[in-house]
Chain A
Amino acid sequence: MPTIHVDVVSATESLYSGEALCVFAPASTGELGIYPKHTALLSILKPGEVRVETDKGIESIYVSGGIVEVQPDVVTIFSDTAIRASDLDESKALEAKQRAQEAMENATESQDISATQAALAESMAQLQMINKMRGKKIF
């Protein structure tokens, strides 16, 4: 049986690496089945299950979105560790900007303020995310 090399990685760890008979990945336009000698493909993944079929059995890995790259003999799946929501990024951006301004203004003041602010920003962002998740189902 021909095999294809599969790597599933996230920013903080390598989730799977090895030969497989075929791979299934939740692409943005529908589930993809990838067999050896598949044509080159680059696709965004939506949250879901990646199934890697090997001769020893089926390995199932959950990804919360990401990217899949297919070359004829290699499949690489990048799993996101971060929760991506555009307003979450936006609020963090605003906070970062505000902190920069304050740091410039109080050039001599102790850094305790920025510590408190970072904590505040974090909790605010979390609050926002919670509201978002309450508002609609995420999967």
Chain B
Amino acid sequence: MAAGKEIRTQISSIKNTQKITSAMEMVASSKMKKAQDRMLASRPYCEKISNVIGHVAYAHSEFEHPYMNSSEKLQRIGIIIISSDRGLCGGLNTNLFRHILKQVVEYQAKGVEFDICTIGKKATSFFKNSGLNVKYVLTDLGDAPHFNDLLGTIKVMLDGFDTGETQQLSVAYNKFENTMVQAPTIMQLVPMVAGESDNMNHYWDYIYEPDAQEALSALLVRYIEALVYQGLVENIACEQSSRMIAMKSATDNAGDMVTELELVYNKARQAAITQEISEIVGGAAAV
């Protein structure tokens, strides 16, 4: 029964893998809950600051901030790419990268170049061989990234915009629709895309303290930081839910394989027994 033993080892190794994947599924689902809470907790800030930006866009400010409106010719685009540090989360990162590359190819056809900032190991290792200019790298932010961790990165990317090196800045991440659906998203940060007009058409402006430029700059930088931070926490929630689903299907598949192999094993065992009996019966008949 040589085949039987082989099958048995195979079954036990699949079962071991299944134990690992089901443990990872459970870990991911508990982390997913926390990641979603964090995502929801940071949402009010993002919404409020978007509202305020909406107001600012319709204030008739004496000072026009370059982030609000820029008409320079597009030559170089900066992208902040947010990915996970770890793999085994289904097609999450690959889908995002494919989505980005599609856009990149479209723009490159028009002669536009790219400066890239990667957040997370997966994006870093993917884009270092892509031939695009990777300017900044940020990894190991963990499951609960702190706002502080992002500031340096955002600052250097915005500096690139301020000095005129890049004419546009975007952030790419996976948007959390629900546990099953994650949508790869590229969002333009600066120059800001004007929102829809509401009923604030009469002439008005803020009182700025200490002055228009300083107050607006502080607000806009915080707005951009809030968007990137929101992208990061959403991407983490996506990562965990995507991993949970990937691990669940891996566990299910392992279960199916074990069932199939057990059938094969039983057949082999029965065949061996039948053969043995027929040999004994044959032997007895010969005597």
Range of interface residues on B (Cβ < 8 Å)? 35 or more
- Contact digits for B35-57, partner A, Cβ 8 Å, 1 yes 0 no: 00010011011001101100110
Query: Do B219 and A76 have beta carbons less than 8 Å apart?
Result: no
Please, which residues of chain A bring their CB within 8 A of the CB of B135? 97, 100
Nearest B residue (CB) for A119: B140
From A39, A78, A114, B139 is in contact (CB under 8 Å) with A114
Nearest B residue (CB) for A84: B151
Please, which residues of chain B bring their CB within 8 A of the CB of A12? 38, 41-42, 45, 147
Query: Do A82 and B215 have beta carbons less than 8 Å apart?
Result: no
Please, which residues of chain B bring their CB within 8 A of the CB of A93? 136, 152-153, 155-156, 159
Query: Do B152 and A89 have beta carbons less than 8 Å apart?
Result: yes
Query: Do B137 and A99 have beta carbons less than 8 Å apart?
Result: yes
Distance of A9 Cα from B209 Cα, bound (Å): 20
Query: Do B152 and A83 have beta carbons less than 8 Å apart?
Result: no
Of B5-13, B121-129, B190-198, which binds chain A? B121-129
Query: Do B48 and A81 have beta carbons less than 8 Å apart?
Result: no
B56 to chain A, nearest CB (A): 7
Query: Do A81 and B147 have beta carbons less than 8 Å apart?
Result: yes
B222 within 8 Å of A (CB atoms)? yes
- CB contacts under 8 Å to B, within A1-43, are 7, 9-14, 17, 27-29, 39-43
A92 within 8 Å of B (CB atoms)? yes
B214 to chain A, nearest CB (A): 7
Range of interface residues on A (Cβ < 8 Å)? 35 or more
Query: Do B153 and A9 have beta carbons less than 8 Å apart?
Result: no
Distance of A98 Cα from B128 Cα, bound (Å): 14
From B134, B156, B207, B219, A103 is in contact (CB under 8 Å) with B134
Query: Do A42 and B124 have beta carbons less than 8 Å apart?
Result: no
Query: Do B209 and A42 have beta carbons less than 8 Å apart?
Result: yes
A96 within 8 Å of B (CB atoms)? yes
Helix, strand, loop or mixed for chain A's interface? mixed
Query: Do A95 and B207 have beta carbons less than 8 Å apart?
Result: no
Query: Do B42 and A41 have beta carbons less than 8 Å apart?
Result: no
B118 to chain A, nearest CB (A): 8
- CB contacts under 8 Å to A, within B191-241, are 204-210, 214-216, 218-219, 222, 225-226, 229
A107 within 8 Å of B (CB atoms)? yes
Query: Do A41 and B207 have beta carbons less than 8 Å apart?
Result: yes
Report B's interface with A, CB cutoff 8 A: 38, 41-42, 44-45, 48-49, 51-52, 55-56, 59, 117-118, 121, 124-125, 128-129, 134-140, 146-148, 151-153, 155-156, 159, 204-210, 214-216, 218-219, 222, 225-226, 229
Report A's interface with B, CB cutoff 8 A: 7, 9-14, 17, 27-29, 39-44, 66-67, 69, 71, 76, 78, 80-84, 88-93, 95-97, 99-100, 103-104, 107, 111, 114-115, 118-119
In the A-B complex, the 3 residue pairs with the smallest Cβ-Cβ separation, listed nearest first, are: A92-B152, A43-B209, A100-B137
Beyond contacts A40-B207, A114-B140: 8 other A-B pairs, Cβ-Cβ < 8 A, are A42-B219, A81-B147, A82-B147, A90-B152, A96-B137, A97-B136, A111-B121, A118-B139
Between-chain CB contacts (< 8 Å), 25 pairs: A11-B147, A12-B147, A27-B209, A39-B207, A40-B205, A42-B209, A43-B209, A43-B210, A44-B209, A67-B222, A69-B55, A69-B219, A78-B48, A81-B148, A82-B151, A93-B153, A93-B156, A96-B136, A96-B138, A97-B136, A99-B136, A100-B134, A114-B121, A115-B139, A118-B139
